[in-house]
């Protein structure tokens, strides 16, 4: 089978699987967030948290609940990392240093899962299960909760800024959506050969006559939620390139499906909750267009991109796992950077210059195609508001989206949202390139070194977590700087989205008129794609010209 045939075959299977899951999963999630009934397990959780799940919160209270919960999560995970040598199932691992423990705690709580450490060398089983895996569920649930709150802002009329109950959204997302799918996915991964055990490192005799120690561990259970929740932190340092995390092409395609299935299903949830599935299909079409373009471009770059290596060898093979090959690696790389997953099955630092550029641009677009669980939907809805506003300016009408007027207050919040990520990325990159501690981590001076730093700040600010491995980020400077970027990139946009949801929920819904822009037709989908690419993309043209573009030309 030729590489082109293999690429088309796996892409066709993936798209078919996503299409089959889209309708039932999207509808199920809509029922989850609109049902008045609480399950018995959920009532126990509410009782333990001492909260009233039926109390409808204003957006500010919703935000304070979210921030308080996230702060408590950071403190608990920091304590686990610092005290793991005193805890059971530690495998004799030493405690993390304060800067490293803080970075790890912030990373997993913000759904970034940036790992400055090798999992098999720095984290025991208890820290992996009770710390990292638990946050894989909870951080994903937080993202979905914010998206649902924004959808309620569009769906409600005259609700006095009330957008739902954070605790109910958090618990329902975890209990009804993430846990059931993750259990099934973990069993499927075990069936493909992913490890799930509590065994200590086992000595294995090598062909050379030596001994190599292979780790066991609860890998499949963490791998399932790692991909499903668009988290990305790997049990092993090699992440999804490790044969115990991702042993076969079947497991590889399953993992790509898991990281895409919820983000691509949430637009249907949105359409059902606002009473128009056509609106959901428009958002889905915009997401799918950008994702498909990135897959095609990154596959081309790795198979036949510029340079003599792809032309002579048939593909750029450096840094690729031979079990998957360049086409499966390109599909994985495009999907993991188009979402906020950050898992890798190949070395992104070894991607060709244009291939690495595509992965970088995926993150710099805000990871909205389809984006992380929850964050992709609310990010794309923000861009939809921008598109409506621009269209309104063109025709001289007050812009409206889903019956809500987009006035000065709304567009101010949207503008701040759009500017937050570029500001954090560019300022962080500039600081790192200006101080000795930042320059010391660069392995390859020149355009590629700038790409390493830019990729790191783009990754953590967009809560992705993947890296150009050539950057030496396990230092106090990068642990601190990247940790701050994670916090700003996660919670500032969430605060702005919830404030926008509150303003929209307070408005009375205006019936569509003759001059209302139809936001469910192909014309609007094209406008939304253009706005997404141009509004954020143009911000980064100068720095991209100095990094992957220069490297490609050289």
Q: Which of 115-124, 181-190, 332-341, 508-517 has the lowest mean pLDDT?
A: 508-517
What is the structure's pLDDT at 311?
57
Q: What domain range is 521 assigned to?
A: 3-202+214-548
CB 196 within 8 A of CB 154: no
Residue pLDDT, tens place only, 422-433 = 999 999 999 999
Q: Is 484 exposed, middle or buried (0-12, 13-18, 19+ CB in 10 A)?
A: middle
Whether 209 maps to a domain, the answer reads no
pLDDT > 90 fraction of the chain, expressed in percent and rounded: 66
Indicate the helix (H) or strand (E) that contains 211.
strand 211-214
Whether 403 maps to a domain, the answer reads yes
Whether 67 maps to a domain, the answer reads yes
**DSSP conformation class of 346:** B
- Name the pTM for this structure: 0.94
**Band of the pLDDT at 184, cuts 50, 70, 90?**
very high
**368 closest CA partner among 381, 356, 354:** 381
CB 376 within 8 A of CB 290: no
How many domains is the chain built from? 1
Q: How many CB atoms lie within 10 A of CB 395?
A: 9
Whether 389 maps to a domain, the answer reads yes
pLDDT > 70 fraction of the chain, expressed in percent and rounded: 97
What is the structure's pLDDT at 549?
80
Q: Is the peptide bond before 68 cis (omega within 30 degrees of 0)?
A: no
Specify the 3-state DSSP secondary structure of 214: strand
Q: How far apart are CA 61 and CA 349, in angstroms?
A: 42
Whether 373 maps to a domain, the answer reads yes
Whether 553 maps to a domain, the answer reads no
Whether 106 maps to a domain, the answer reads yes
**487 closest CA partner among 112, 236, 173, 155:** 112
Residue 370 reports pLDDT greater than 80: yes
What is the structure's pLDDT at 312?
57
Whether 504 maps to a domain, the answer reads yes
**DSSP conformation class of 72:** H
């Amino acid at each position: 089978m030729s590489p082109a045939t293999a690429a088309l075959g796996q892409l066709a299977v993936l798209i078919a699987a996503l299409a089959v899951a889209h309708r039932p999963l999207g509808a199920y999630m809509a029922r989850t967030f609109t049902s008045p009934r609480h399950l018995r397990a959920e009532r126990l959780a509410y009782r333990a948290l001492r909260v009233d799940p039926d109390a409808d919160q204003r957006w500010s209270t919703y935000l304070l609940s979210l921030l308080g919960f996230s702060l408590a999560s950071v403190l608990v995970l920091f304590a686990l990392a610092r005290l793991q040598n005193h805890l059971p199932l530690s495998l004799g691992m030493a405690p993390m240093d304060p800067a490293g423990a803080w970075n790890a705690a912030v990373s997993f709580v913000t759904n970034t899962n940036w790992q400055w450490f090798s999992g098999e060398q720095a984290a025991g089983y208890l820290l992996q299960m009770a710390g990292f895996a638990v946050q894989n569920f909870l951080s994903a649930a937080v993202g979905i909760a914010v998206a649902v709150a924004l959808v309620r802002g569009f769906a409600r009329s005259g609700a006095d800024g009330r957008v739902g109950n954070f605790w109910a959204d958090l618990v329902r997302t975890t209990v009804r959506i993430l846990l059931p799918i993750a259990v099934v996915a973990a069993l499927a991964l075990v069936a493909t050969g992913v490890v799930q055990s509590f065994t200590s490192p086992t000595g294995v005799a090598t062909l050379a006559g030596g001994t190599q120690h292979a780790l066991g561990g609860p890998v499949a259970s963490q791998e399932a939620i790692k991909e499903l929740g668009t988290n990305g932190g790997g049990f092993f340092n090699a992440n999804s390139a490790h044969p115990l995390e991702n042993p076969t092409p079947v497991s590889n395609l399953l993992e790509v499906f898991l990281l895409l299935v919820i983000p691509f299903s949430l637009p249907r949830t949105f359409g059902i909750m606002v009473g128009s599935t056509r609106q959901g299909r428009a958002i889905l079409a915009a997401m799918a267009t950008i994702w498909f373009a990135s897959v095609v471009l990154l596959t081309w770059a790795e198979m036949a991109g510029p340079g003599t290596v792809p032309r002579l060898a048939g593909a750029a093979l450096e840094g690729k796992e031979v079990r998957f090959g360049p086409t499966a690696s390109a599909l994985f790389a495009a999907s993991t950077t188009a979402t906020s997953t950050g898992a890798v099955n190949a070395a992104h630092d070894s991607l060709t210059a244009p291939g690495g550029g595509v992965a970088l641009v995926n993150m710099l677009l805000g990871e909205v195609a389809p984006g992380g669980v929850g964050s992709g939907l609310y990010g794309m809805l923000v861009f939809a508001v921008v598109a409506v506003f621009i269209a309104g300016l063109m025709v001289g009408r007050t812009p409206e989206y889903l019956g809500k007027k987009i006035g000065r207050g709304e567009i101010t919040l949207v503008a701040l949202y759009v500017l937050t990520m570029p500001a954090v990325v560019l300022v962080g990159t500039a600081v790192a390139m200006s101080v000795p501690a930042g320059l010391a981590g660069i392995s390859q001076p020149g355009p590629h070194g700038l790409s390493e730093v830019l990729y790191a700040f783009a990754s953590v600010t967009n809560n992705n977590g993947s890296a150009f491995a050539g950057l030496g980020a396990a230092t106090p400077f990068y642990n601190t700087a990247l940790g701050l970027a994670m916090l700003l990139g996660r919670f500032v946009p969430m605060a702005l989205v919830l404030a926008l949801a509150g303003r929209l929920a307070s408005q009375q819904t205006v019936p569509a008129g003759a001059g209302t822009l139809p936001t469910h037709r192909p014309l609007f989908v094209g406008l939304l794609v253009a706005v997404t690419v141009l509004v954020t993309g143009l911000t980064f043209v100068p720095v991209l010209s100095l990094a992957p573009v220069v490297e490609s030309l050289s």
